A and B are shown apart, each in its own frame.
Chain A
Amino acid sequence: MARAICWSVWSSMSFSFVIAQILNGLASASSLFIVASGLTIVFGVTRIVNFAHGSLYMLGAYFAVTLMTPLLDVSRSFPMFVLGLICAALLTGVLGIALEVLLLRRVYKSPELLQLLITFGLVLVIQDLVIRIWGPLEILGPRAPGLRGAVSIAGVQVPSYDLFLIAMGPLVFGLIWLVLARTRFGILVRAATQDREMVAALGVNQSILFTGALFLGAALAGLGGALQIPRAAASPQMDIAVLTDAFVVTVIGGMGSVPGAALAALIIGQLNAFGIVVFPKSTLVLVFLLMAAVLIVRPYGLLGRAEPLSLRVVTPEGFTAIAPTSAPTWRWCGVLIAALTILPWAVDAYAQKIAIEILIFALAAFALAFLIGNGGLVSFGHAAYFGIGAYAAGLAVKKLGFGMETALLLAPLAGAGAAALFGVFIVRLSGIYLAMLTLAVAQIVYAVAVQWVELTGGDNGIVGVWPARWASSRITYYYLTLVLCSAGIFLLHRVLHAPFGYALRGARDSAVRADAIGLDVVKLRWLAFTLAGAATGLAGGLYAFSKGSIDPTLLAIPQSVDFLAMLLMGGIQHIAGALVGSTALHTLKVIALPLTDMWRMLLGVMIIAIVLLTPQGLVGGGLRLFRRSTRGGASA
Chain B
Amino acid sequence: MIARPLLSVDRLTKAFGGVVAARDVSFEVGRGELVALIGPNGAGKSTTFNMVGGQLEPDRGSVMLDGTAITGLAPRAIWRLGAGRTFQIAQTFVSMTAVENVQMALQSAQNMSFNLWRSAHALHRDAAIGLLRSVGLADSADRPVATLAYGDIKRVELAIALAGAPKLLLMDEPTAGMSRGERHDLMVLVGALARDLGLGVLFTEHDMDAVFGHASRVLVLVRGEIVARGTPAEVQADALVQRIYLGKSGTLAAAEAGRSRGTS
Contacts and interface: CB of A to CB of B under 8 A. Distances in A.
A374 to B, nearest CB: 9
**Which range holds the interface residue count of chain A?**
35 or more
Contacts of A309: 55
B79 A518 contact: yes
Choose among B103, B109, B116, B118 the residue with the greatest number of A CB atoms under 10 Å from its CB.
Answer: B116
A513 B154 CA distance: 13
Nearest to B111: A518
A526 to B, nearest CB: 11
A320 B147 CA distance: 13
A509 B114 contact: no
A531 B79 CA distance: 27
Nearest to B87: A311
Nearest to B153: A313
A317 to B, nearest CB: 11
B91 A319 contact: no
A505 B93 contact: yes
B221 interface: no
Interface in B96-134: 96-97, 100, 103-105, 107-109, 112-121, 123
B163 interface: yes
Contacts of A508: 95
Contacts of B77: 518
Interface string B169-187: 0000000000000000000
Contact of B112 (A313, A315, A499, A505): A499
A142 interface: no
Nearest to B80: A518
Contacts of A518: 76-77, 79-80, 105, 108-109, 164
B94 interface: yes
Nearest to A527: B114
A515 B108 contact: no
B239 interface: no
A503 B114 CA distance: 8
A519 interface: yes
B113 A503 contact: yes
Choose among A495, A501, A503 the residue with the greatest number of B CB atoms under 10 Å from its CB.
Answer: A503
Nearest to A507: B93
A517 B113 CA distance: 11
A461 B35 CA distance: 69
A313 B118 contact: no
B30 interface: no
A512 B108 contact: no
A500 B95 contact: no
Nearest to B75: A515
Contact of A516 (B75, B100, B113): B75
B14 interface: no
B115 A510 contact: no
A313 to B, nearest CB: 6
Contacts of B88: 311
A594 interface: no
Interface string A15-47: 000000000000000000000000000000000
Nearest to B106: A517
B146 interface: yes
A315 B96 CA distance: 11
A509 B117 contact: no
Given A313-B89, A518-B108, A510 B94 contact: yes
Choose among A318, A494, A505, A510 the residue with the greatest number of B CB atoms under 10 Å from its CB.
Answer: A510
A524 interface: yes
Contacts of B120: 497-499, 501-502
Contacts of A299: none
Contacts of B89: 311-313
A316 interface: yes
A500 B114 contact: yes
A270 B8 CA distance: 53
B144 interface: yes
A324 interface: yes
A498 B118 contact: yes
Choose among B53, B94, B105, B115 the residue with the greatest number of A CB atoms under 10 Å from its CB.
Answer: B94
A515 B96 CA distance: 17
A313 B95 contact: no
**Which range holds the interface residue count of chain B?**
35 or more
Nearest to B91: A513
Interface string A551-570: 00000000000000000000
A515 B94 contact: no
Contacts of B118: 498-499
A175 interface: no
A320 B95 contact: yes
A517 B164 contact: yes
A571 interface: no
A390 to B, nearest CB: 25
B96 A516 contact: no
Interface string A195-237: 0000000000000000000000000000000000000000000
Contacts of B93: 505-506, 509-510, 513-514
Contacts of A523: 114
Given A512-B55, A517-B108, A321 B76 contact: no
B217 interface: no
A501 B107 CA distance: 12
Contacts of A524: 113-114
A138 interface: no
B95 A505 contact: yes
A517 B55 contact: no
Given A502-B107, A519-B76, A520-B76, A513 B92 contact: yes
B104 A506 contact: yes
A571 B79 CA distance: 36
B160 interface: yes
Contacts of B119: 324, 497-498
A506 B76 CA distance: 14
A517 B160 contact: yes
B74 interface: yes
A317 B120 CA distance: 22
Contact of B116 (A494, A505, A514, A515): A494
Contacts of B100: 502
A318 B74 CA distance: 27
Interface string A281-318: 00000000000000000000000000001011101101
Interface in B150-168: 160, 163-164
Contacts of A498: 115-120
A453 B219 CA distance: 70
Choose among A323, A505, A524 the residue with the greatest number of B CB atoms under 10 Å from its CB.
Answer: A505
A500 B85 contact: no
A516 to B, nearest CB: 5
Interface of A: 309, 311-313, 315-316, 318-324, 494-495, 497-503, 505-506, 508-510, 512-520, 523-524, 527, 531
20 contacts: A311-B91, A315-B95, A497-B121, A499-B115, A499-B118, A499-B120, A500-B114, A500-B116, A502-B103, A502-B107, A505-B95, A515-B76, A516-B53, A516-B76, A516-B84, A517-B79, A517-B108, A517-B160, A518-B105, A524-B113
Given A506-B96, A516-B85, 11 more contacts: A311-B87, A315-B94, A316-B94, A498-B115, A499-B107, A503-B104, A509-B95, A513-B160, A518-B79, A518-B109, A518-B164
Closest 10 CB pairs between A and B? Answer: A513-B91, A503-B113, A509-B93, A311-B89, A515-B75, A518-B79, A506-B93, A517-B105, A499-B115, A324-B121
